Amino acid sequence: MARGELFDPVFGGHALGAELSDRAWISAMLEVEAGLARAVAATGRISGADAAEITAAAGRLAERLDPAVLGAEGVGGGNPVIPLVARLRAECSGAGVPAAAVHTGATSQDVIDTALMLLARRSGALVVGDLAAAADAAAALAAAHRDTPMAARTLGQQALPTTFGALAAGWCAGLDRAAQTLAAVLGSLPVQFGGAAGTLAALHPNGFDVADALAAELGLARQGVPWHTDRVRIGELASALGVAAGAVAKPATDVVSMAATELGEVAEDAPGGSSAMPHKRNPVAAVTARAAACRVPGLVATVLGNMDHEFARAAGAWHAEWETVTDLLRLTGGAAHRLADCLDGLHVDAAAMRRNLDATGGMLLAERVTGALAGYTDSARAFVTAACAAGRPLDADPEVTQYLDPATVRELLDPAGYLGHAGDLVDRVLAGRDTRSIKENTP
């Protein structure tokens, strides 16, 4: 069962919901227990036959164990691992597996933390994939509209001309960087194995060997040393997800603004309607991408503000991470998925962009006229500012045309002639894309 069958599809989290569901958590914890049995067997502390039976029993339990039952049984100990281990031992006992062979040398935090790392790597790969898909769509828009002029806007007002390609290239660069950072963090997520107090005492002198073997069994990075209360890895994961959500929110916000009736510069390929207003064509994918991303910063703050785990096991701070990190993965991935939907096939209205460029009657290029006029008078800025404030066309303002003839002013007011390095920005972003590193680093 997904965490939110009603809302996950709306916010793009449907596929991630399955990867991060209660059932997925149980399967991951049992996978850790099975991997641990095989790792311990490699040191000779339990038999290979017992490890094989534990692995088989874990597989059976993963299919039939009811999350609601396990959750209720976990109330007394404050986590689901305690009843999970009891059930696994009972499942193995009929085959003669001694209870001590199950969960050997481990503590509950080892199992939950390592299960979370497994879930993060698997679901995180989907997040990176959707970030990359959104970046690819932005790159395609940038290439197609490298030279399509539009108004750049600062503080909500028209500023100077730019191109839609330059705007989309900026989206692409941010999404690529966020995907690269997240992929690197996911690839470094380690196993957690320290035993009751982080000293591996129950497995001495083989503790490090078992920990490394467990990492190999599960396909995780080696831990170096146990990190029960060193939560830097969790903080890095949360931060990378937060940055990724921010990278998604930026283009989603731009699309929502540009799709507004008054601008009409872009439209989604499959806009949404309204239950009350037949004329509405809402940029729903962008809207829901923003909505999912909006919830992420608070969750990141919860993780970062919660890193001061005391001594060898935190009382509450550790417990607060389980659902928080799960929700971070689900929401960030959902936002990325919806943005990819939004940008793939986005309709760009170049005529509307040109119309909006012309809305100020040339005031958009007042900076350019001022620069040209400054070669003739120190009052250039004052003359142009006064004309703009009065709403006088610059090619008809006497203070301006006493130095520059009207034809020259009109040429200066052509947006296509004042795009700076907009096209070069597109070329640089597209030429510098490193999609291979994203694919290579994604687990």
Active site (catalytic) residues: 274, 313
Burial 271-307 (b: 16+ CB within 10 A, else e): eeeeeeeeeeeebbbbbbbbbbbebbeebbebbeebb
Q: By the 8 A CB rule, do 144 and 165 touch?
A: yes
What is the largest distance, in Å, between two alpha-carbon atoms of the chain? 102
Q: By the 8 A CB rule, do 371 and 404 touch?
A: no
Per-residue DSSP letter, 265:
-
- Cβ-Cβ contacts under 8 Å for 170 (sequence gap 6 or more): 425, 429
Which residue type occupies 337?
H
Residues 373 and 138: their CA atoms lie apart, in Å, by: 38
**Dihedral sign, Cα of residue 22, residue 27, residue 30, residue 35:** negative
- 268-271-274 Cα angle (round to 5): 150
Residues 20 and 16: their CA atoms lie apart, in Å, by: 6
The 10 Å Cβ neighbour count of residue 389 is 9
- Cβ-Cβ contacts under 8 Å for 235 (sequence gap 6 or more): 303, 304, 307
Which residue type occupies 323?
E
Per-residue DSSP letter, 190:
B
Q: By the 8 A CB rule, do 268 and 286 touch?
A: yes
Residues 422 and 161: their CA atoms lie apart, in Å, by: 9
DSSP characters for 18-61? HHTSHHHHHHHHHHHHHHHHHHHHTTTSS-HHHHHHHHHHHHHH
- DSSP lists the bridge partners of residue 266 as 348
C-alpha count within 13 angstroms, C-beta hemisphere, residue 280: 9
Which residue type occupies 310?
E
Residue 158: helix, strand or coil by DSSP? strand
